[in-house]
Amino acid sequence: MKRIKTNLKKAKNKFKLLNYSNDLPEFYAMGLPNISFFGNKQVQIEGVVGIMEYDENFIKVSVKKGYITFLGSDFKVTNFTKSQITVLGKINSTEFCF
């Protein structure tokens, strides 16, 4: 009886994981970054691997399947965690290379 309960618990946990993955947006499963622009003054990127190049007018961010380049002025990285970055400044252009 105990073994049946254990197997039932495992099956329920697997079902919960499957349901959770179905609730996620498709781009997460594809390994694509989530990018939020706030006008042309701020950008927040989730799914960052690292910063490749950075100065006050240029930033190149590495993501799982390529990189993203921002051109502008007065760039400041205000938040940088394991998988997320926030950049402030005037964003003039964005280039995606996947």
Q: Can you give the residue range of the structural domain that contains 22? A: 1-29
Average pLDDT over all residues of the chain: 82
Same domain flag for 46 and 92 = yes
Which segments of the chain are extended strands (E)?
34-38, 42-46, 48-55, 58-63, 66-80, 84-97
| pLDDT band, very low/low/confident/very high, at 98 (cuts 50, 70, 90) | confident
**Same domain for 83 and 37?**
yes
What number is the average pLDDT over the span 8-19?
A: 50
Same domain, 57 and 22: no
Residues 20 and 41 in one domain: no
Answer yes or no: do 24 and 52 share one domain. Answer: no
53 and 86: one domain? yes
- Rounded Cα distance, 67 and 54, in Å: 13
Tell me which residue of 79, 77, 98, 72 sits closest to 88, measured CA to CA. 77
**47 and 82 inside one domain:** yes
Q: Is the torsion defined by CA of 37, 43, 49, 52 positive or negative?
A: positive
DSSP 20-36: HHHHS-HHHHTT--EEE
Q: How many domains are there within the chain? A: 2
| Residue 8 structure tokens | 């039932």
pTM above 0.75, yes or no: no
For 60-95, how does the pLDDT look when each residue is reduced to its tens digit (9 = 90+)?
999 988 999 999 999 999 999 999 999 999 999 999
The reported pLDDT for the residue numbered 96 is 94
Do 97 and 69 meet the contact criterion of CB atoms below 8 Å apart?
A: yes
Q: Both 39 and 84 in a single domain? A: yes
